[in-house]
């Protein structure tokens, strides 16, 4: 499949679109919605736990309270989709643990990347 | 030979070369070391060969501060001491445990791990632990399914324990009774220590018993081996010559009481089920592993030394904190309650996972039940979720202490009060240990770690949950130091300033490390025994 469902983000909200992967406009970040799912946690935590972690992360890091801000952080050096995106995020998570870039939220010891994914997930749900 | 001190004529005088006060792991280990020597050894035991609740009542006392077990049932006052019901978990302390650590107040021993190594080996013999080898690869060669978590050993490694619940009372009764030069006196409770003028040398001790008899023991050397709380009590209560008690010129006796914090702290969730045989308590003869923090990581994070034991979550959720179960005055009843809880929790977990057994209610012997329980632990250990139990040293705290109260026991001895006090570094260290394990589990791609609620607020290092357990490990009341101002005994366990008085046991520990104390206290006792031999031979 050469086209995927993407999310166009803006300061006012998110709209689900079906567009190519390459585009990226000023002030908005388009990303594969697969990014909303913290793959490293979905088999260990319930959706409610993921949501709760996401909310707590946003409280703890108020600078990252918008989808745009979080998505930018997650995708800072990644331009991939689908499995490649998952692999790139996995790599980022591993690097987080390697460098101590971790978040301690509701008792869970998480990589900051996966905590951001939880936060993104809650915002995407809110905005859906 | 054995003499029941209740049957001696009142006011008897007993003479010997060495007097060992207390026939538990420490006292018996020393006595065994003197069998067939030309010296007459007097071994005093407060109780008899069997449990006697009237004697047990002599060790009762009160507790304040952090919730603790009733003192009356936290030790056994009988020949063999508390080895009468221990779990037999043994592991040597680490190098770092003996070092001065600038982030751990009052840390540092005047001896090193290397000084103790030869004695650890000898302690292994007394405790019948087999080879003195704590190298995981050695044991994996013998038992290939002892798989360890593939974590970065520079941060988290697996520390090993060897298990053998050696019951000294049963194991060594015959050897002690048959030894011509060992004179074991049961029902002989020390009530006073008397020295020369100036208290630079001990001349005699007074012993009493519940039959109303009082006797005197004279010897060249006296070794207190009655357990950390009772040793401190004996020194403090022997105040006829010095108001502060014996060996207490610097007000250190009874201070720095330490326990091991044994507390349910986190959950480990794995992506795939893991056969945790290595991390499952397997009973006598087995080895057992816990996740431990490397010396390097301890230094970097300025934390105490502690380990994480793994219990399958299915089993852990049915287990009640031991501090709640162990509140009976009779240690046997508390032990029964503990085993019952563990068994029920295991059966519940088994029923939930595998369904009910048809013959689960069939009568079984105690041994069969234990074997079944261990087999069940083993079966449940194949899982993807574990609860961790921390086993951590307590930072030495001078305000955590044993003092004398106003109440007296049946022999007229003042009872003690134990004020158990924890420090902020204790809790911060537990939290950090699991954050490190969590990071390593994440890095290895094995799973994630979730800390219990009481550890979640990083600004709270003072409150503890109701279920905060200790290990029944009394340590540090007569701590070792080269400086009399900061310790009660010197590097050889001799009481500072008193040439022939020594303390054997975990009371001499300057810091408590993570492992259960028995192996180290036996090693230290054998080392003391050698020292006394050298002194006697030098005369």
Burial group, residue B136, by CB count within 10 angstroms (0-12, 13-18, 19+): middle
CB atoms within 10 A of CB B515: 28
Stated as kind and residue range, the H or E segment containing B25 is helix B25-33
B284/B129 Cα distance (integer angstroms): 9
Joined together, the tokens standing for residue B84 give 């009468």
B277/A42 Cα distance (integer angstroms): 27
Please enumerate in sequence order all residues whose Cβ is within 8 A of that of B62, keeping only pairs 6 or more positions apart, or say none: B71, B405, B407, B415, B416, B417, B418
Q: What percent of chain B has pLDDT over 70?
A: 98
State how far the alpha carbon of B310 is from the alpha carbons of B307, B377, B381, B403, in Å.
Answer: 10, 11, 9, 36
Q: How many angstroms separate the CA of residue B266 from the nearest CA in chain A?
A: 8
Instruction: Spell out a b/e string for B210-245, using b for 16 or more CB atoms within 10 Å of the CB, else e.
Output: beebebbbbbbbbbbbbbbbbbbbbbbbbbeeeeeb
Q: How many angstroms separate the CA of residue B470 from the nearest CA in chain A?
A: 23
Q: Which residue of B has its CA nearest to A95?
A: B443
In the block, residue with structure tokens 């010296």: B39
Of A94, A98, A109, the CB nearest to B448: A109
Closest by CA position to B186, among listed B18, B52, B39: B52
Q: Which residue of B has its CA nearest to A102?
A: B439
Q: How many angstroms separate the CA of residue B439 from the nearest CA in chain A?
A: 5
B362/B157 Cα distance (integer angstroms): 42
B206/B222 Cα distance (integer angstroms): 12
What local confidence, expressed as pLDDT, does residue A4 receive?
Answer: 40
Residues from chain B that touch A87, judged by Cβ atoms under 8 A, are: none
Backbone angles phi, psi at B336, to 5 degrees: -60, -40
Q: Mark the ranges of chain A whose per-residue pLDDT is less than 50.
A: 1-26
What local confidence, expressed as pLDDT, does residue B282 receive?
Answer: 77
CB of B442 within 8 Å of a chain A CB? The answer is yes
Q: What topology does CATH give the domain B1-58+75-129+164-258+474-539?
A: FAD/NAD(P)-binding domain (3.50.50)
The confidence band for B357, taking pLDDT boundaries of 50, 70 and 90, is low
B294/B405 Cα distance (integer angstroms): 42
- Under 8 Å between Cβ of B72 and B427: no
pLDDT digits (tens, 9 = 90+) for B3-30: 999 999 999 999 999 999 999 999 999 9
What local confidence, expressed as pLDDT, does residue B285 receive?
Answer: 74
What local confidence, expressed as pLDDT, does residue A120 receive?
Answer: 96
First-to-last C-alpha distance (Å) of chain B: 27
pLDDT digits (tens, 9 = 90+) for B421-443: 999 999 999 999 999 999 999 99
What local confidence, expressed as pLDDT, does residue B362 receive?
Answer: 65
B531/B334 Cα distance (integer angstroms): 39
Residues from chain A that touch B441, judged by Cβ atoms under 8 A, are: 109
What local confidence, expressed as pLDDT, does residue B539 receive?
Answer: 65
Judged by CB atoms closer than 8 Å, whether chains meet at A109 and B434 is answered as yes
Q: How many angstroms separate the CA of residue A49 from the nearest CA in chain B?
A: 12
B31/B18 Cα distance (integer angstroms): 9
| Sheet arrangement for strand B202-208 | B13-15, B214-218, B202-208, B189-195
CB atoms within 10 A of CB B47: 27
Judged by CB atoms closer than 8 Å, whether chains meet at A102 and B451 is answered as no
pLDDT digits (tens, 9 = 90+) for B231-241: 999 999 999 99
B302/B153 Cα distance (integer angstroms): 18
Burial group, residue B165, by CB count within 10 angstroms (0-12, 13-18, 19+): middle
CB of B271 within 8 Å of a chain A CB? The answer is yes
- Under 8 Å between Cβ of B307 and B290: yes
| Sheet arrangement for strand B18-21 | B2-4, B182-186, B41-44, B18-21, B221-224, B501-503
Of A94, A98, A110, the CB nearest to B448: A110
pLDDT digits (tens, 9 = 90+) for A94-105: 999 999 999 999
Q: Chain B interface, mutation test: which of A107, A111, A112, A118, most B Cβ atoms within 10 Å?
A: A107
Q: How many angstroms separate the CA of residue B417 from the nearest CA in chain A?
A: 36
Tell me the average pLDDT across B178-190.
98
Q: How many angstroms separate the CA of residue B449 from the nearest CA in chain A?
A: 6
Q: How many angstroms separate the CA of residue B443 from the nearest CA in chain A?
A: 5
Q: Which residue of A has its CA nearest to B441?
A: A97
Q: Which of the two residues, A12 and B1, has the higher pLDDT score?
A: B1
Instruction: Check whether B373 has a pLDDT greater than 90.
Output: no
Closest by CA position to B229, among listed B428, B47, B71: B71
Interface of A with B (CB under 8 A): 40-41, 43-44, 93-94, 96-98, 100, 102, 104, 106-111
CA B379 to chain centre: 29
DSSP B249-305: TTS-TT-S-B--EEEEEEEEEEEEEEE-GGGS---TT-EEEEEEE-HHHHHHHT---
Residues from chain B that touch A109, judged by Cβ atoms under 8 A, are: 434-435, 437-439, 441-442, 448-451
Judged by CB atoms closer than 8 Å, whether chains meet at B451 and A100 is answered as no
What local confidence, expressed as pLDDT, does residue B372 receive?
Answer: 77
Judged by CB atoms closer than 8 Å, whether chains meet at A104 and B448 is answered as no
Tell me the average pLDDT across B44-48.
98
Residues from chain B that touch A46, judged by Cβ atoms under 8 A, are: none
Judged by CB atoms closer than 8 Å, whether chains meet at A41 and B448 is answered as yes
- Under 8 Å between Cβ of A110 and A93: no
Tell me the average pLDDT across B364-382.
78
What local confidence, expressed as pLDDT, does residue B356 receive?
Answer: 65
The confidence band for B360, taking pLDDT boundaries of 50, 70 and 90, is low
B525/B158 Cα distance (integer angstroms): 28
B310/B273 Cα distance (integer angstroms): 14
Q: How confident is the prediction for chain B on average, in pLDDT?
A: 95
In the block, residue with structure tokens 């080392």: B527
Please enumerate in sequence order all residues whose Cβ is within 8 A of that of B459, keeping only pairs 6 or more positions apart, or say none: none
Q: Which residue of B has its CA nearest to A53?
A: B450
Per-residue 3-state assignment (H helix, E strand, C coil) for B359-380? CCCCCCCHHHHHHHHHHHHHHH
Residues from chain A that touch B447, judged by Cβ atoms under 8 A, are: 44
- Listed by start position, the domains of chain B span 1-58+75-129+164-258+474-539
């Amino acid at each position: 499949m050469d086209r995927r469902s993407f999310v166009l983000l803006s300061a006012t909200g998110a709209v689900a679109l079906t567009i190519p992967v390459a585009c990226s406009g000023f002030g908005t970040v388009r990303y594969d919605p697969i990014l909303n799912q913290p793959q490293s946690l979905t088999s260990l935590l319930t959706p409610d736990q993921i949501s709760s972690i996401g909310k707590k992360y946003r409280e703890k890091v108020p600078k990252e309270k918008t989808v745009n801000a979080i998505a930018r952080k997650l995708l800072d050096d990644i331009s991939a989709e689908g499995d490649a995106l998952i692999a790139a995020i996995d790599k980022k998570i591993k690097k987080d643990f390697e460098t101590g870039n971790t978040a301690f939220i509701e008792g869970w010891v998480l990589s900051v990347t996966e905590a951001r994914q939880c936060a993104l997930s809650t915002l995407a749900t809110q905005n859906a | 030979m054995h003499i029941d001190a209740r049957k001696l004529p009142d006011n008897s005088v007993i003479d010997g070369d060495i007097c060992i006060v207390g026939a538990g792991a420490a006292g018996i280990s020393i006595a065994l070391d003197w069998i067939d020597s030309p010296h007459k050894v007097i071994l005093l035991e407060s109780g008899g060969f069997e449990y006697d609740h009237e004697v047990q009542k002599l060790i009762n006392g009160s507790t304040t501060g952090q919730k603790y077990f009733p003192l009356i049932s936290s030790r056994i006052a009988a020949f063999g001491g508390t080895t009468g019901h221990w779990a037999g978990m043994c592991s040597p302390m680490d190098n770092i445990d003996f070092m001065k650590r600038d982030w751990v107040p009052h840390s540092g021993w005047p001896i090193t791990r290397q000084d103790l190594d030869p004695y650890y080996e000898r302690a292994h013999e007394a405790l019948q632990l087999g080879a003195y080898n704590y190298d995981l690869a050695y044991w994996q060669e013998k038992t290939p399914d002892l798989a360890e978590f593939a974590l970065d050993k520079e941060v988290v490694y697996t520390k090993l324990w060897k298990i053998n619940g050696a019951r000294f009372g049963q194991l060594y009764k015959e050897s002690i009774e048959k030894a011509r030069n060992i004179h074991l006196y049961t029902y002989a409770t020390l009530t006073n220590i008397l020295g020369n003028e100036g208290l630079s040398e001990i001349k005699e001790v007074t012993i009493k018993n519940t039959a109303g008899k009082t006797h005197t023991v004279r010897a060249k050397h006296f070794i207190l081996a009655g357990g950390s709380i009772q040793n401190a009590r004996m020194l403090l209560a022997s105040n006829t010559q010095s108001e502060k008690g014996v060996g207490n010129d610097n007000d250190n006796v009874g201070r720095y009481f330490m326990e091991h914090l044994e507390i349910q702290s986190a959950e480990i969730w794995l992506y795939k089920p893991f056969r945790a045989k290595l991390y499952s308590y397997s009973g006598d003869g087995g080895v057992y592993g816990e996740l431990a923090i490397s010396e390097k990581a301890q230094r970097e994070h300025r934390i105490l030394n502690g380990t994480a034991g793994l219990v399958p979550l299915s089993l852990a959720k049915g287990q009640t904190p031991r501090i709640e179960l162990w509140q009976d005055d009779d240690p046997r009843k508390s032990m029964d309650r503990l085993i019952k809880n563990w068994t029920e929790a295991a059966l519940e977990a088994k029923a939930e996972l595998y369904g009910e057994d048809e013959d689960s209610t069939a009568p079984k012997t105690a041994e069969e039940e234990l074997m079944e329980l261990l087999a069940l632990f083993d079966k449940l250990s194949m899982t993807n979720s574990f609860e961790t139990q921390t086993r951590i040293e307590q930072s030495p705290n001078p305000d955590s202490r044993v003092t004398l109260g106003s109440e007296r026991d049946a022999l007229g001895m003042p009872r003690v009060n134990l004020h158990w006090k924890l420090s902020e570094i204790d809790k911060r260290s537990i939290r950090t240990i699991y954050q490190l394990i969590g990071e390593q589990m994440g890095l290895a791609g094995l799973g994630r770690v979730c800390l219990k609620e009481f550890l979640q607020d990083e600004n709270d290092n003072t409150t503890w949950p109701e279920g905060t357990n200790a290990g029944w490990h009394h340590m540090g009341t007569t701590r070792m130091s080269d400086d009399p101002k900061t310790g009660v005994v010197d590097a050889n366990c001799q009481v500072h300033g008193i040439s022939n008085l020594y303390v054997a046991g975990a009371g001499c520990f300057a810091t408590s490390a993570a492992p259960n104390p028995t192996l180290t206290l036996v090693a230290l006792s054998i080392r003391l025994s050698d020292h006394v031999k050298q002194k006697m031979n030098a005369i």
